[in-house]
């Protein structure tokens, strides 16, 4: 073997060793701090917290992981109308109180989710005493009471609220929800005004999915501009970012970030996850009522995610975060919709019982290659 060949192999081995040592150093640093600290100069990194995680003793290791890795939290369900006030009667505060207490204990940015939504609302909310449709005036009063009670309970303790959730259809029209049908599009402005009156210091957000779609994006931006002209206190827009492994493109995500900044609001990435399973629809949606039939070919990774798909997922996260970093001045936070793959809602949506891998931590709550790829962006 020539001297030059021996030198080449020795240098290659040294480089590989140095890369390995560097990778180990990054991993150890993450163990001590968490991904939040790598991005502390850019934006907050958050996660959604399930009710079971807050209330079950066996979930303590997951809570510890959340406390280490994230500096922003959103409740997955415990502040939605139906879990909080089932049958539109008594309030159930236990899980919501635990959520806020956990965030305060760890000095986190706490997001309330959500005040007004068409889903997970008891049907009684929209009915009068006779069982007919409630009047506009009565529903307005009910909305006022709900917002005053919920936002008022946590006034000064919750930094941001998803005030109105998913009021726009994918075709760029108003969702014909009971709120819209009874109160008209004014229900959105009223909800924001009510929330602001209850807690003037809270950051108020409109939250929706498929904001990367040009038609929906343009409608939402127009809505924000119109409401701002009226003096409606809308401070941010939540881009849910329930993404597929192959789309939408990062170019469309970037266009939405720019458009929201031009409209004068902060962007919040509110519910980020990346679906790796075969799509069962032509257009993605996060409409929670949608369901499809289970078939084995729609659940191909029961035994684990293949290495090529693991790499594809890591690359997808990397590409998306590069856009976020490019526009860090426009973004308040990036929140994952869950922490570990074993708890993701995508195991059951839109097909119950599948095995999905959309998050940064695996089913054993260990960091995945995608996690380290995001750390590499900040090394």
Which of 236, 249, 186, 184 lies closest to 206 in space, CA to CA?
Answer: 236
Give CA 325 to chain center in angstroms: 17
Asked whether the bond before 189 is cis by omega within 30 degrees of 0, the reply is no
Active site residues: 166, 271
Measured CA to CA, the distance from residue 13 to residue 24 in angstroms comes to: 16
Measured CA to CA, the distance from residue 361 to residue 343 in angstroms comes to: 10
Distance between the two ends of the chain, CA-based, in angstroms? 37
Which of 103, 184, 96, 88 lies closest to 145 in space, CA to CA?
Answer: 88
The CA–CA distances, whole Å, from 32 to 27, 37, 367 equal 9, 10, 13
Whose tokens are 């009670």? That residue is 149
Residue pair 162/270 in contact by the 8 Å Cβ criterion? yes
């Amino acid at each position: 073997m020539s001297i030059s060949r021996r030198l080449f192999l020795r240098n290659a081995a040294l480089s590989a060793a140095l890369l390995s040592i560097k990778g180990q150093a990054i991993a150890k640093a993450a163990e001590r701090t968490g991904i939040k600290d790598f991005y502390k100069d850019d934006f907050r990194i958050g996660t959604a917290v399930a009710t079971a995680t807050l209330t079950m003793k066996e979930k303590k290791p997951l809570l510890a992981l959340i406390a280490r890795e994230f500096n922003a939290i959103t409740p997955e369900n415990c502040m939605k109308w139906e879990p909080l006030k089932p049958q539109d009667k008594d309030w159930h505060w236990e899980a919501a109180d635990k959520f806020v207490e956990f965030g305060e204990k760890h000095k986190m940015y706490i997001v309330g989710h959500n005040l007004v939504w068409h889903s997970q609302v008891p049907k009684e909310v929209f009915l009068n005493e006779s069982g007919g449709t409630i009047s506009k005036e009565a529903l307005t009063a009910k909305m006022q009471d709900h917002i005053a009670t919920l936002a008022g309970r946590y006034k000064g303790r919750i930094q941001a609220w998803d005030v109105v959730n998913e009021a726009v259809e994918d075709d760029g029209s108003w969702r014909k929800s009971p709120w819209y049908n009874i109160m008209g599009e004014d229900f959105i402005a009223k909800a924001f005004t009510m929330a602001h009156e209850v807690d003037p210091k809270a950051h108020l957000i409109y939250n929706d999915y498929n904001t990367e779609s040009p038609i929906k994006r343009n409608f939402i931006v127009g809505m924000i501009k119109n409401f701002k002209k009226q003096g409606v206190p809308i401070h941010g827009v939540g881009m849910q970012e329930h993404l597929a492994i192959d789309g939408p493109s990062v170019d469309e995500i970037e266009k939405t970030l720019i458009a929201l900044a031009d409209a004068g609001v902060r962007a919040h990435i509110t519910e980020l996850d990346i679906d790796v399973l075969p799509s069962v629809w032509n257009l993605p949606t996060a409409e929670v009522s949608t369901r499809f039939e289970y078939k084995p070919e729609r659940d191909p990774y029961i035994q684990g995610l293949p290495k090529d798909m693991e790499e594809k997922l890591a690359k997808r996260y990397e590409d998306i975060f590069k856009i976020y970093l490019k526009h860090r001045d426009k973004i308040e936070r990036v929140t994952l919709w869950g922490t570990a793959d074993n708890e993701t809602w995508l195991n059951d949506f839109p097909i119950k019982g599948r095995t999905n891998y959309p998050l940064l931590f695996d089913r054993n709550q260990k960091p995945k290659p995608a996690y380290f790829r995001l750390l590499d962006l900040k090394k």
